[in-house]
Structure 1
Amino acid sequence: METIVTCQSCKKDFQIFPEDREFYNRFHVPLPTWCPECRMIRRMTFRNERALYKRACDLCHAEKIFMYPADAPFPVYCYQCWWSDMWDPKSYGRDYDFSKNFFDQFLELRDAVPRCGVVRQGFSINSEYTNRVTDMKNCYLVFETTHAEDCRYGMGYDFSKDCVDCFTAQKCERCYECTDIYQCNNLFYSQECTECANSSYLFNCRNCTDCFGCVNLRNKSYCIYNQQYTREEYLAELPRAKLQLEKFEELKRTLPVPALVVRHGANVSGNWIENSKNVFHSYNVLEVEDARYCYRVLYGKDLMDFGPWSNKSERMYESINVGIQCADLKFCNECWIQLVNSEYCMNCHSSQDLFGCNGLRKAQHCILNKQYNREEYFAQIAKIKSQMSKTGEYGEFFPMKLSPHAYNETVAQQFFTLTKDQALAKGYRWRDPEVKEYQIGGDIVACEHDGKCAQSCTTAFRITSEDKVFYERHNISLPTLCPNCRHFERLAKRNPLKLWNRTCAKCSKAIETSYAPDRPKTVYCVDCYQSEIV
């Protein structure tokens, strides 16, 4: 039977289900005091993807692009220096002081130990303005991506080439202004499409080619606004159709949508779930098993309050920015590679049995970066956990004061947008944009929003030579919004990371959906949608 608890952050009631309790018991952690959404926001305040700064490395002094500004309270090293042997993270080790609480001591350690300026793995060729990426070539302002080439202004370009202004375009080529597309080519202004090509303005289409303004189509060619044409008729009608885009919006308003986007899922709830089973209230997950309250994770098992990231991780709780073959972690951040059986760590890699450490590599049995033998280590962390339980710290993720980023620099601002006043009222930090003197004209274009939005507007932006080649090749008008504003407008087209109860518009069955009840959408359960559309 579920337990009703009042969230100590938003003060709303939330449910703790029996399946949640089983997980907490197995992980030996207390029941959460914050609701799932507030827990997600708290974790997201520790993830900066898009805010980049030009500054000097504090070790080699070379000018580089980092995700930390020059006035950060801790040293910042470039990627090469941070992973080098020119410094020793254990030299910052210290004794645990039982007269102080844990989080205050960890804050002191956080500000002492150097941090890696960006998350960039594998090769990086002509791709300096990227972050949280692996294997990049000729990419610019691209984030959270694995293996991309000639991509610009976007995120989630995994194994893609020559794509611009997209959000999650995997195994795609020559796509523009699309969200949530997979294995598409020459696709423009489209959303939630798979294996589509040579088309524009598609929504929720599969295996379609040479189509325009279509919704819910499968295995079609030469369709305009869901009407079938011959090839010759299609080419003749297309110029007129481009002047009638209101028809596309009408189709999106009136045709049914699936309650959730799930492909090959068993016993799952959430949205954008693929090849997964036993997933509860999670979003953007791929090949995951036994996961609850997760966002943007792939290839993992036994995950709770976790993500973004993963990649063959198991038994993870209340962690973010943690990946590649990690296991048995609780309350960790920025631990990218093979960290095992550790708690409350940041920036630790290829290590095991760590507690409250920052920046360690190939280490074991350390607390606050200080080395212990095995017996001393486990005896000490038992005492520390006992103290933390008394102070109410154990079982909670790092508080926001430990985040190295301001709220508006983080993923939290993208999905739970606040104004500066709202953020400050909630106790978050806020970073005002640097005032820059732009000479508008030529390649420098003023953003139409002029900074009067909550979208980290840069007020002006540069049209690069590579941009011009792409726009001219595809006959696209120059953008009028800066890259940040374009990114936020794409996000606004996606459903929020939230579920509501509705009834299927066809069979009246109770359903969970990412469409709010007050949205004028015709929402079908999965069975009804598949019987009518597929």
Structure 2
Amino acid sequence: MDEILENLVPHERICQWRGKHPHCEDKFRITEEDISFLKMLRVPPPNYCPTCRRMRRFVHMNFVRLFKRSCDAPGHSENMISIYPEECLFPVYDYKFFISDEFDPFSYGVNYREGESPLKMLLYLRKKFPMPSFVNRDPSSVNSEYSNGGRDNKNCYFAVACYHAEDVWYSSLVNKSRNVMDSRDIMQSELLYEGFMSDFVYKSSFVYFSASCSDCFLVFDCKNCDSCFGCVNLRNKKYCVWNEQLSKQDYESFIKSTNPLGRSKLAEYKKKFWKLVATQPMSASHNIGSDNVSGVGIKNCRNLFDVVNAENGSEHIRHADGAMSHKDSMDFLYSGGHSSKLYGTTNIGSQSSNVRFSVSSKFCTDCEFIFNSKNLNNCFMCFGLQNKSHCLLNKQYSQEEYFKIMDQIKSEMIKSGEYEDPLGFEFSAQAYNFSMGQLGYPLNDEEIKTLGGYVAKEPETNAGDIEMVKAADLPETIAGVGDDILNKAILCETTGRPFRIIGSELEFYRRMSLPLPTVHPSVRMETLFRLAPDGKKYKVICAKCGNETDSMFNPKDGFILYCDNCFKQEVY
């Protein structure tokens, strides 16, 4: 490794996936700054372009799908809910069984066989070792059975990576909030429907890129606003409709005219709102309070390059997505708080340090090639372990034995080139077409298989004898909906898939005076992700100054995109 890094100079490379799918960058540069990070992290230069490296990480994550499938644990034949489809190439065990004392991860251990490809041995163990049905089901969460990841949640239904949340439905990345539905990336909010990248919001619906807003409806990039309807780019305003200032009396009269809110009227308001958004300047990057950063969705960070979504003082990071209180890392997707020196990882965090080529583990230090593990120190090529040190290929070693064998394996991988880009699609338990990768970098079935991934079919819905209701036959307003809807299934107007309304969800719609949804929850979640897909950014020309800037929005969407400086001058 020393020889590789000492001789490394800036140069251009051809991506190994060149010509195999439409998103590849073909050629990419290893820059002086990249080399500095590679030396700090002690890894060789990658052979894939930044976009392809992102795809290789995103294939491991599924934020919007749940599947009913059989449990593969010995002696188990029951059906269970899982984030992995029936076609998953690896066995899948019920999460409670996976973390119980009945399950022994060391029973899968294998001895390292000198002369055999270490990466092939790792893949062999990967295919044999079972996956937990969910990434993490925190025991501190209450009545949140259909949620994945997160911690300290209560009464959450299909909530993904939510923390300290209560009464949240069909949402992801919701933190310290309650009574939130169909939302993503929300902080300290309450009574919110369809919020996106917004904080400190109260009793509002259809809120995007906004903060400190109350009693608002259809607002985009509004800050410190109260009682506003259909507004864009407002600051410190009250009683505004379609960006026009009204008196309190006129505003209240307008709101009265909107009630009761029916689906047809809501569709008209949405259409008018997005037309208004398209006429107003928009912050291309939505970076806030940051210094020396390149990327989008960055809040209060510094010294970041090619980063999408970072916050809480993250610093010194390259080619990464989803950094929270993180530093000194490169090429990772999602990190828990206060982690550092990660490389080639997906969903590693919560005070982890010096971890490489690993997936879905936390509280880990000085580890490589670890999967679905917790509280590890000096472990290499391990699956499903907790509170362990000096383990290799799921076998326990003394400290001396561990370092001897680990160094031998690592040297062999470096010589053969296996250490450069070890985790391809074949290591993912997730079908690419249902992964986060498909949302930002869609591929057809043949492309997925060519790259080493697998494709899962859309699961059949077994609704039994339950009565089906077409979306067009639903009452226009929530006032016309009786409790009998809880015993029926609504046919999604987009996909035709049936979905149910649960009791707490119906209560929320009534409280917020919103009509019933006519689209399946997973489609609604995917729609929010596609508004600004994770890992996706574009180079655009500022509509005001003409300089190039990063954008989280596709220029083909027709928005008026401004760089950070021009947007501040225009709006503030």
- Cα distance change, pair 261–372 in 1 and its aligned pair in 2 (3 A): same
| TM-score, normalised with respect to structure 1 | 0.92
The more displaced of 2-11 and 511-520 is 511-520
Aligned to 1:10: 18
Give CA deviations for 1:296-328 in whole Å, capped at 9, x if unaligned.
121111121112232111111010111111100
What is the CA distance between 1:218 and its match in structure 2? 0.4
Match of 2:360 among 334, 338, 350: 334
Aligned to 2:197: 180
Matches within 5 A, 1:436-455: 436-438=461-463, 439=466, 440-441=468-469, 442=485, 443-450=488-495
- Structure 1 counterpart of 2:492, which letter? C
Q: Is the 8 A contact 2:192 2:203 kept in 1?
A: yes
Match of 1:462 among 472, 493, 500: 500
Q: Is the 8 A contact 2:119 2:422 kept in 1?
A: no
What is the CA distance between 1:74 and its match in structure 2? 4.6
Instruction: Give 3-state SS (helix, strand or coil) of 1:130's partner.
Output: coil
The more displaced of 423-432 and 281-290 is 423-432
What is the CA distance between 1:162 and its match in structure 2? 0.7
- Cα distance change, pair 249–53 in 1 and its aligned pair in 2 (3 A): closer
Is 1:306 aligned to residue 306 of structure 2?
Answer: no
Aligned to 2:474: none
Instruction: Give 3-state SS (helix, strand or coil) of 2:413's partner.
Output: helix
Match of 2:540 among 502, 522, 526: 502
- Cα distance change, pair 407–73 in 1 and its aligned pair in 2 (3 A): closer
- Structure 2 counterpart of 1:313, which letter? S
The more displaced of 47-56 and 366-375 is 47-56
Q: Is the 8 A contact 2:211 2:223 kept in 1?
A: yes
- Cα distance change, pair 344–373 in 1 and its aligned pair in 2 (3 A): same
Matches within 5 A, 1:334-373: 334-336=360-362, 338-373=363-398
- Cα distance change, pair 271–464 in 1 and its aligned pair in 2 (3 A): same
Matches within 5 A, 1:58-457: 58=73, 61=76, 64-69=80-85, 72=88, 74-118=90-134, 119-238=136-255, 245-287=270-312, 288-336=314-362, 338-438=363-463, 439=466, 440-441=468-469, 442=485, 443-450=488-495
What is the CA distance between 1:109 and its match in structure 2? 1.6
Structure-1 separation of matches of 2:31 and 2:419: 21
Structure-2 separation of matches of 1:217 and 1:275: 21
Is 1:20 aligned to residue 58 of structure 2?
Answer: no
The more displaced of 237-246 and 523-532 is 237-246
Structure-2 separation of matches of 1:150 and 1:251: 32
What is the CA distance between 1:240 and its match in structure 2? 5.9
Structure-2 separation of matches of 1:340 and 1:98: 26
Q: Which runs of 5+ in 1 are unaligned?
A: 452-458
- Structure 1 counterpart of 2:395, which letter? K
The more displaced of 417-426 and 138-147 is 417-426
Q: Is the 8 A contact 1:50 1:131 kept in 2?
A: no
Instruction: Give 3-state SS (helix, strand or coil) of 1:151's partner.
Output: strand
Aligned CA-pair RMSD = 2.3
Q: Is the 8 A contact 2:198 2:209 kept in 1?
A: yes
Instruction: Give 3-state SS (helix, strand or coil) of 1:196's partner.
Output: strand
Q: Is the 8 A contact 1:60 1:81 kept in 2?
A: no
Structure-1 separation of matches of 2:532 and 2:375: 36
Aligned residues: 526
Q: Is the 8 A contact 2:390 2:397 kept in 1?
A: yes
The more displaced of 306-315 and 210-219 is 306-315
Q: Is the 8 A contact 2:368 2:380 kept in 1?
A: yes
Is 1:476 aligned to residue 502 of structure 2?
Answer: no
| TM-score, normalised with respect to structure 2 | 0.86
The more displaced of 464-473 and 126-135 is 464-473
What is the CA distance between 1:137 and its match in structure 2? 1.1
Is 1:493 aligned to residue 531 of structure 2?
Answer: yes
- Cα distance change, pair 245–515 in 1 and its aligned pair in 2 (3 A): closer
Instruction: Give 3-state SS (helix, strand or coil) of 2:507's partner.
Output: helix
The more displaced of 379-388 and 62-71 is 62-71
Instruction: Give 3-state SS (helix, strand or coil) of 1:307's partner.
Output: strand
What is the CA distance between 1:177 and its match in structure 2? 1.6
Give CA deviations for 1:237-265 in whole Å, capped at 9, x if unaligned.
34667655554223211211123111211
- Cα distance change, pair 189–110 in 1 and its aligned pair in 2 (3 A): same
Q: Is the 8 A contact 1:224 1:238 kept in 2?
A: no
- Cα distance change, pair 397–285 in 1 and its aligned pair in 2 (3 A): farther
Structure-1 separation of matches of 2:282 and 2:331: 28
- Structure 1 counterpart of 2:238, which letter? S
Give CA deviations for 1:141-160 in whole Å, capped at 9, x if unaligned.
11111111111111111111
Structure-2 separation of matches of 1:45 and 1:496: 12
The more displaced of 375-384 and 489-498 is 489-498
- Cα distance change, pair 391–146 in 1 and its aligned pair in 2 (3 A): same
Give CA deviations for 1:265-285 in whole Å, capped at 9, x if unaligned.
111111111121111111111
Q: Which runs of 5+ in 2 are unaligned?
A: 1-8, 20-25, 259-264, 470-484
- Cα distance change, pair 246–153 in 1 and its aligned pair in 2 (3 A): closer
Structure-2 separation of matches of 1:323 and 1:511: 30
Aligned to 2:549: 511
Aligned to 2:3: none
Instruction: Give 3-state SS (helix, strand or coil) of 1:95's partner.
Output: coil
Give CA deviations for 1:107-146 in whole Å, capped at 9, x if unaligned.
2222333433221224222211111121121111111111
Structure-2 separation of matches of 1:499 and 1:72: 30
- Structure 1 counterpart of 2:222, which letter? C
Structure-1 separation of matches of 2:413 and 2:450: 27
What is the CA distance between 1:293 and its match in structure 2? 1.2
Is 1:50 aligned to residue 59 of structure 2?
Answer: no
- Cα distance change, pair 436–509 in 1 and its aligned pair in 2 (3 A): closer
What is the CA distance between 1:370 and its match in structure 2? 2.1
Aligned to 2:22: none
The more displaced of 431-440 and 274-283 is 431-440
Instruction: Give 3-state SS (helix, strand or coil) of 2:152's partner.
Output: strand
- Cα distance change, pair 46–502 in 1 and its aligned pair in 2 (3 A): closer
Structure-1 separation of matches of 2:232 and 2:570: 13
The more displaced of 7-16 and 77-86 is 77-86
- Structure 2 counterpart of 1:7, which letter? C
Q: Is the 8 A contact 2:315 2:326 kept in 1?
A: yes
What is the CA distance between 1:222 and its match in structure 2? 0.2
Structure-1 separation of matches of 2:181 and 2:417: 46
Structure-1 separation of matches of 2:401 and 2:533: 50
The more displaced of 470-479 and 157-166 is 470-479
